[in-house]
Structure 1
Amino acid sequence: MAEQEVYQMETAGERLDKFLAARLTELSRSHLQKLIEAGAVLVDGKPRKANYKSRGGEEVTLTLPAPEATEIAAEPLPLAILYEDVDIIVINKARGMVVHPAAGVTHGTLVNALLAHCKDLSGINGAIRPGIVHRLDKDTSGVMVAAKNDRAHIDLAEQIRTKAARRVYWAIVHGNIQEESGTIKGAIGRSAKDRKCMAIVPGGKPAVTHFRVLERFGDYTLVECRLETGRTHQIRVHLTSIGHPLVGDPKYGRRSSPFAIAGQALHSLTLDLTHPVTRQPMHFMAPLPEDMARILAALRARRSRG
């Protein structure tokens, strides 16, 4: 069933597609432009083009189409479910699991698992990414929320866009971070040297990471990170930029490490949000994975031996 959302364009001169893109962060600009062209977006009751510029104060009505029938196979894969109701599902994503199908990856993803577990998922992202509001890298573990309907999806995406939803990560990095806490700022974009990697580059998207040292182990540090923005590989790039790459990071880390971990030592520990329907505040915590727990145990044992 199609759903409607209503917004208010307050700023004169703002383009319609940019206005919607800022509020529906999980939809690409091209997807929004297709919705506008199809007449699914009305401004004060009238269809407008994507480049329509606001006069200020108009009402924008977006009619979201019913979810597409998906061609992605449902697979009964193990899911560590932290919470579930009719609107949302919160899971502890395992390290090594890709979030959604992409080129060369059609099976074994979180989406495949969710399709087998849930009868319904939001259709805003189309057939490839149903329900996916935000992502974690393949080799980052931890708490994630997915939406079971479009109403929940839009609200959760808005909470992430406005930073009302708060995410905390734990990372184990090389070296001894001298400061107790700090903020890393650096615009992130594709690396000119390797297009598969991200880097701090001129003209990149603004990115801000706040960090706090939790434990020191001489040549390693356990650090807590809070995201002010959510750019691709943000924590990995920012910590590498200050000389403290993540242990095990295959793209940005050091080639040799004494620890056995398949991917970077980065875990999405907590997620705080407001339920998109009941409006109740919710707090979720994903236990630290065994590989990171073993590394910390080894580092603490070494420290105690002096």
Structure 2
Amino acid sequence: MPDSRLPPCPAAARRAAVPSVVFEDAALLVLNKPSLVPGSAAETAEGLRHLLESVNKGAREAAAERLAAGGGGARDTRSLTVVHRPDPAASGLIVFAKTKHALDFLSGQFQSKSVEQLYHAVVVVRRAQSERSAARAGGGAGAGATSSRIEAAHWPRDPGGGVPAEFAIDWWIGREATDPERMRAFRRNGGQPALSEFRLLERFGRFAFLECRLRSNRRHQLRVHLAAAGLPILNDPVYGLPEEQLLLSDFKRDYKGGGRSGRDGQGKRGREPGERPMIEQVALHASSLTLRHPDTGEPLTLTAPLPKAFEIAQRNLRKFARSSRG
């Protein structure tokens, strides 16, 4: 069920967001989809239709060639069924089944947690010490990351307060009592068991790039686990920190000749006039899936390259900011 809090994806954005085909055969269609943020069930259905229509439009020439050669025609989208329910806010891989056998076979793999699912995320690193001090002083919990009610003392941090090189989160996930469209994390029983594993790739001040592995398939699992751990995903409108933006002017000295020094991501300086964030989508990308093919039973690994904005941001940060592993 989609998020009522997520703003609808504008029609212009939907038209511009064209998916690409990662893999296709008689049983499967796998797309690399853009980050679409639907606001209603109708919007979700429209987004999926747009994905398929965009692919069909790009495939018409190839279909005509196949017809001329005596092969099949255009793809029949009516026979396609989404095998899993990837978070609509994430870009990356989405798998469709073309036959009932493929649907049953693949759905069983996702339900049995035998599919290897790899994501990449950019997160905002909240300071656990500051949150603990605010709590002792009676300060209200901030939006997003602390709304899951996991105390900062339980956030995954190394002895120096940094992000560990590797860590796992096994907090349970259930619906928020006051808002059933929103999920929350529980340290103990509540909702359903969930397990996510993470590896720190690079950190630049208050931002970090993570590799994420799903070991269960709960709704909004990575977004909820990371937010509850004080590591909300950048640009997440439901569980994140809307005031946080990844701005080049926060890192690059004398940005646009303004004569002001950057702070290497340790503090916010405010957006320069006309400046756009380096990453504007929800910074979560489904990068890789490994599953067994429904017809052959052989392992099949599917990959979707990172969005260009992720790569450009990482390149700029490596050039202008201090990189660390914690």
TM, length-normalised to structure 2: 0.62
Q: 1:112 to 1:305 in 2, by over 3 A?
A: closer
Deviations 1:225-253 (A, max 9, x none): 11111111100110111111011111111
* Cα shift at 1:291: 2.4
SS in 1 for 2:234: coil
Q: 1:162 to 1:103 in 2, by over 3 A?
A: closer
2:231 equivalent among 228, 231, 244: 244
Distance (Å, rounded) in 2 between the aligned partners of 1:276 and 1:93:
22
Distance (Å, rounded) in 1 between the aligned partners of 2:50 and 2:170:
36
Runs of 4+ residues deviating >6 angstroms: none
Letter paired with 2:190 = G
Residue 179 (str. 1) matches residue 170 (str. 2): no
Distance (Å, rounded) in 2 between the aligned partners of 1:175 and 1:120:
42
* Cα shift at 1:170: 0.4
Spell out the pairing of 1:95-244 with structure 2 (5 A cutoff). Answer: 95-96=35-36, 103-105=41-43, 108-114=46-52, 117=56, 118-119=75-76, 122=79, 130-175=80-125, 177-201=162-186, 202-244=189-231
Aligned to 2:318: 300
* Cα shift at 1:264: 1.9
* Cα shift at 1:214: 1.1
Aligned to 1:284: 302
Q: 1:142 to 1:219 in 2, by over 3 A?
A: same
Letter paired with 1:110 = L
More helix, by proportion: 2
* Cα shift at 1:106: 6.8
Deviations 1:144-199 (A, max 9, x none): 21100100011111111222211100011112852111110111111124333110
Distance (Å, rounded) in 2 between the aligned partners of 1:183 and 1:152:
32
* Cα shift at 1:217: 1.4
Q: Can you give the 5+ residue segments of structure 2 that lack an aligned partner in the other structure?
A: 1-14, 57-74, 127-161, 247-276
Q: 1:248 to 1:151 in 2, by over 3 A?
A: same
Aligned residues: 223
Residue 78 (str. 1) matches residue 65 (str. 2): no
* Cα shift at 1:83: 0.8
Deviations 1:33-63 (A, max 9, x none): xxxxxxxxxxxxxxxxxxxxxxxxxxxxxxx
* Cα shift at 1:134: 0.8
* Cα shift at 1:256: 1.4
Distance (Å, rounded) in 2 between the aligned partners of 1:163 and 1:147:
18
Letter paired with 1:137 = D
Q: 1:183 to 1:156 in 2, by over 3 A?
A: same
Deviations 1:251-279 (A, max 9, x none): 11112123334442100011111110022
Aligned to 2:33: 93
Q: 1:305 to 1:165 in 2, by over 3 A?
A: closer
* Cα shift at 1:113: 3.6
Distance (Å, rounded) in 2 between the aligned partners of 1:258 and 1:163:
34
Distance (Å, rounded) in 1 between the aligned partners of 2:89 and 2:44:
17
Distance (Å, rounded) in 2 between the aligned partners of 1:232 and 1:278:
30
Distance (Å, rounded) in 1 between the aligned partners of 2:238 and 2:52:
28
The farther-off stretch of 205-214 and 104-113 is 104-113
Deviations 1:263-303 (A, max 9, x none): 42100011111110022221111010122223322322222
Distance (Å, rounded) in 1 between the aligned partners of 2:300 and 2:37:
25
* Higher RCO (C-alpha under 8 Å, 6+ residues apart): 2
Distance (Å, rounded) in 2 between the aligned partners of 1:195 and 1:284:
33
Distance (Å, rounded) in 2 between the aligned partners of 1:280 and 1:247:
36
Alpha-carbon RMSD across the aligned residues, in angstroms, is: 2.7
Q: 1:270 to 1:200 in 2, by over 3 A?
A: same
Q: 1:154 to 1:295 in 2, by over 3 A?
A: same
Distance (Å, rounded) in 1 between the aligned partners of 2:87 and 2:214:
15
Aligned to 1:271: 289
